[in-house]
Chains A and B, each alone.
Chain A
Amino acid sequence: MDRRVGAALRRRVSDARPGRLLRRARAAGPAALAERSALPLLAAVTALLLAVLFYYPVATVFVDAVVEDGRVTFGPLVEVLTDEFYLVRVLGFTAYQALLSTLLSVLLGLPGAWVLARFEFRGRDTLRSVTMVPFVVPSVLVAAAFYATFGAKGTLNAALSAVGLPELDLLPSLGAILVAHAFYNAPLVTRVVAAAWESVDAGAVETARSLGASRRRAFRDVVVPQLLPALLTGATLTFVFTFATFAIPLALGGSQYATIEVFIYSARRQLEYGRAASLAALETGVSLSLMALYLRYERAQAAERRGVRTLARRPLWPDSWSRERAARRLAIAGYAVVVAFVFVAPLASMLYASVSVDGRFTLDAYRFLLERQATGATFQVKPFPAIVNSLVFGAAALAVALPLGVAMGVLTTRRFRGRWLVDALSMAPLAVSGIVVGLGLLRGLVFGFEAFGYRFTVTGAVAIVAAHAVGAYPFVVRTVAPPLDRLDRALVESARALGASRARTVLDVELPLVWPGVVAGAAFAFAISIGEFDATVILAEGGGTYTMPVAVERFIGRRLGPATAMGTVLLAVTAASFVVIERVGGEFRG
Chain B
Amino acid sequence: MGEASGPAERSDPAVRVEDLRVEYGSTTALDGVDVTVEEGEFFTLVGPSGCGKTTTLRCLAGFEEPTAGSIHIAGESMAGVPPESRGIGVVFQSYALFPHMSVGENVAYGLRFSGPPEGTTKHERVEELLELVDLPGFADRDPDTLSGGQQQRVALARALAPEPRLLLLDEPMSALDARLRERLRVQVREIQRELGITTVYVTHDQEEALSVSDRVAVVDGGRIEQVGRPRELYDAPATRFVAEFLGDNNVFAGSVVAGGDRVRDAAAARDDGGDPLRLRVDGGGTLPLPSDVAEDARDGDRLVVCVRPERIRVHASGDGDREGERAGDRVGGNGGTGRGTGADPDGALLATTVESTEFLGDATRLHCDWNGVAVTVRTDGSRSFDVGEPVTLGVDRADVRVVERS
**Residues in A lying within 8 Å of B, measured CB to CB:** 1-3, 5-10, 12-25, 27-28, 36, 306-309, 488, 490-491, 493-502, 504, 508-509, 512-513, 590
A1 to chain B, nearest CB (A): 6
**B196 and A28: CB pair below 8 A?**
no
Asked if A497 and B61 sit within 8 Å, CB to CB, the answer is yes
Given contacts A306-B96, A498-B109, A498-B110, are A6 and B194 in contact (CB under 8 A)? yes
Q: Let me know if B194 and A10 touch, CB within 8 A.
A: yes
- Is the pair B191, A493 in contact by a Cβ cutoff of 8 Å? no
Q: Which of A2, A5, A24 contacts B87 (CB 8 A)?
A: A24
B61 touches A1 (CB 8 A): no
Q: Given the complex, which residues of B lie within 8 Å of A501, measured CB to CB?
A: 82, 84
Whether B99 contacts A6 by the Cβ 8 Å rule is no
Number of interface residues of B (CB under 8 A): 56
Residues of B near A495 (CB, < 8 A) are 98, 109
The residue of chain A having its C-beta at the shortest distance from the C-beta of B89 within the complex is A497
A9's partner among B84, B98, B132 (CB-CB below 8 A) is: B132
Interface centre among A20, A36, A494 (most CB of B within 10 A): A494
B159 with A36: CB separation less than 8 A: no
Q: How far is the CA of A17 from the CA of B109 in the complex (A)?
A: 20
Contacts of A508 in B (CB 8 A): 98, 109
In the complex the two chains form, what is the Cα distance from A504 to B113 in whole Å? 10
User: In the docked arrangement, what's the CA distance between A58 and B152, Å?
Assistant: 54
A512 to B62, CA, bound (A): 24
* Chain B residue contacts of A36, Cβ below 8 A: 82
CB <8 Å contact, A2 and B131 = yes
A498: contacting residue among B74, B100, B159, B196, CB under 8 A: B159
Q: Is the CB of B90 within 8 A of A8?
A: no
- Minimum CB–CB distance for A576 against chain B, Å: 29
Residue of B nearest to A14 (CB): B196
Instruction: Give the residue of B8, B94, B190 whose beta carbon is less than 8 angstroms from that of A18.
Output: B8
* A-B CB contact pairs (8 Å), 23 listed: A9-B128, A9-B132, A10-B196, A16-B163, A17-B165, A18-B7, A21-B165, A22-B7, A24-B114, A25-B85, A36-B82, A306-B99, A307-B98, A494-B155, A494-B158, A496-B61, A497-B83, A497-B168, A498-B89, A499-B113, A499-B114, A501-B82, A501-B84
**CB-based contact B84/A496 at 8 Å:** yes
B1: CB under 8 A from chain A? yes
Determine the distance from Cα of A3 to Cα of B128 in the docked complex, in whole angstroms: 11
User: B112 at interface (Cβ–Cβ under 8 A)?
Assistant: yes
Q: Told that A491-B98, A495-B109 touch, could you supply 14 new A-B pairs with CB distance under 8 A?
A: A6-B194, A8-B128, A15-B117, A21-B73, A309-B144, A493-B83, A493-B92, A493-B96, A494-B92, A494-B158, A497-B168, A499-B162, A500-B109, A500-B113
B90 touches A13 (CB 8 A): no
- Asked if B301 lies at the interface with its beta carbon under 8 angstroms from chain A, I say no
**B391 at the A interface (CB under 8 A):** no
Contact among B74, B144, B168 for A21, CB-based, below 8 A: B74
Q: How far is the CB of A338 from chain B (nearest CB, A)?
A: 37
Interchain CB contact (< 8 A) of A12 among B1, B86, B117? B117
- In the complex, are the beta carbons of B94 and A499 less than 8 A apart? no
Which residues of chain B (119-172) have a CB below 8 Å from chain A?
Answer: 128-129, 131-132, 134, 143-144, 155, 158-165, 168
A25 to B129, CA, bound (A): 25
B162 touches A496 (CB 8 A): no
> How many angstroms between the C-alpha atoms of A493 and B89 in the bound complex?
10
Q: Which residue of the partner chain, among A24, A28, A307, contacts B100 with CB atoms under 8 Å?
A: A307
Given known A-B contacts A12-B163, A14-B196, A28-B1, A496 and B99 have beta carbons under 8 A apart: no
- Cα-based distance from A25 to B63 in the complex (angstroms): 18
Q: Within 8 Å CB of B163, what residues of A?
A: 12-13, 16-17, 20
Contact A1 B134 (CB under 8 A): yes
| Distance from B78 Cβ to chain A, minimum over Cβ atoms (Å) | 10
In the complex, the answer to whether B195 meets A13 with C-beta atoms within 8 Å is yes
Docked complex Cα distance between A16 and B194 (Å): 15
Given A308-B99, A513-B99, answer yes or no on A497-B197 (Cβ-Cβ < 8 Å).
Answer: no
Q: Are B87 and A20 in contact (CB under 8 A)?
A: yes
Set of chain A residues within 8 Å of B164, measured between Cβ atoms: 497
A18 to B190, CA, bound (A): 23
Chain B residues with CB under 8 A of A9: 128-129, 132, 160, 194-195
Once bound together, how far apart are the Cα atoms of A36 and B96, in whole Å?
23
A498 near B132: Cβ-Cβ < 8 Å: no
Assess the A496–B96 pair: CB atoms within 8 A: no
B364 at the interface (CB under 8 A from A): no
> Cβ of B94 and Cβ of A497 under 8 Å apart?
no
- From A3, A490, A509, name the one whose CB has the most chain B CB atoms within 10 angstroms: A490
B61 contacts which chain A residues (CB < 8 A)? 493, 496-497
Task: Say yes or no: A5-B132 contact (C-beta < 8 A), given A21-B165, A493-B83.
Answer: yes
In Å, the complex CA distance between A36 and B143 comes to: 29
| Nearest CB in chain A: distance from B152 CB, A | 12
Pairwise interchain contact B82-A10, C-beta atoms closer than 8 A: no
State in angstroms the CA–CA spacing of A22 and B76 once bound together: 10
* Cβ-based interface call for B317 (8 A): no
A307 touching B99 in the complex, CB below 8 Å, given contacts A5-B131, A496-B63, A499-B112: yes
Give every chain A residue within 8 A of B160 (Cβ-Cβ): 9
Instruction: Kindly list chain A residues whose C-beta atoms are within 8 Å of the C-beta of B62.
Output: 496
Residues of A close to B256: CB separation below 8 A: none
CB closest residue in chain B, given A511: B100
B87 and A21 contact, CB distance less than 8 A: yes
Closest Cβ of chain B to A234, distance in Å, is: 26
* Complex: chain B residue closest to A4, CB-CB: B131
Chain B residue at smallest Cβ distance from A16: B163
A506 to chain B: closest CB distance in Å?
Answer: 13
In the complex formed, the residue of A with least CB distance to B24 is A415
CA distance A493 to B92 in the complex (A): 9
Set A21, A308, A494, A513: member contacting B76, Cβ < 8 A: A21
Which of B92, B100, B117, B143 counts the most A-chain CB atoms under 10 A from its CB? B100
> B83, A24: Cβ atoms under 8 Å?
no
What is the chain B residue whose CB lies nearest that of A12? B117
Q: How far is the CA of A21 from the CA of B77 in the complex (A)?
A: 11
B88 at the interface (CB under 8 A from A): yes
Q: Looking at the complex, which one of A24, A491, A493 makes contact with B85 (CB distance below 8 Å)? A: A24
Residues of B233-276 at the interface with A, using a CB-CB cut-off of 8 Å, are none
Q: Which residues of B contact A5 (CB under 8 A)?
A: 128, 131-132
Q: With the chains together, A36 CA to B80 CA distance in Å?
A: 12
* Inter-subunit contact A496/B196 (CB<8 Å): no
| Residues of the B chain whose Cβ atoms lie less than 8 Å from the Cβ of A3 | 194
Closest 10 CB pairs of A and B: A307-B99, A499-B113, A498-B110, A490-B96, A490-B92, A6-B194, A496-B83, A497-B90, A494-B96, A16-B163
Residue pair A13, B196 in contact (C-beta under 8 Å): yes
B356 contacts partner chain A, Cβ-Cβ < 8 Å: no
Q: Are B190's CB and A16's CB within 8 A?
A: no
Q: How far is the CB of B96 from chain A (nearest CB, A)?
A: 4
Known contacts A13-B163, A14-B196, A21-B73; A497 and B84 CB within 8 A of each other: yes
Judging by beta carbons under 8 Å apart, are B99 and A309 in contact? yes
- Residue from A6, A9, A27, A496 having most chain B Cβ neighbours under 10 A: A9
Given the contacts A5-B131, A16-B117, A28-B85, A494 and B90 also touching, CB distance less than 8 Å = yes
CB pair B1–A25 under 8 Å, yes or no, is yes
Whether the pair A1, B132 counts as a contact (CB closer than 8 A) is: yes
The answer to whether A497 and B88 have CB atoms under 8 Å apart is yes
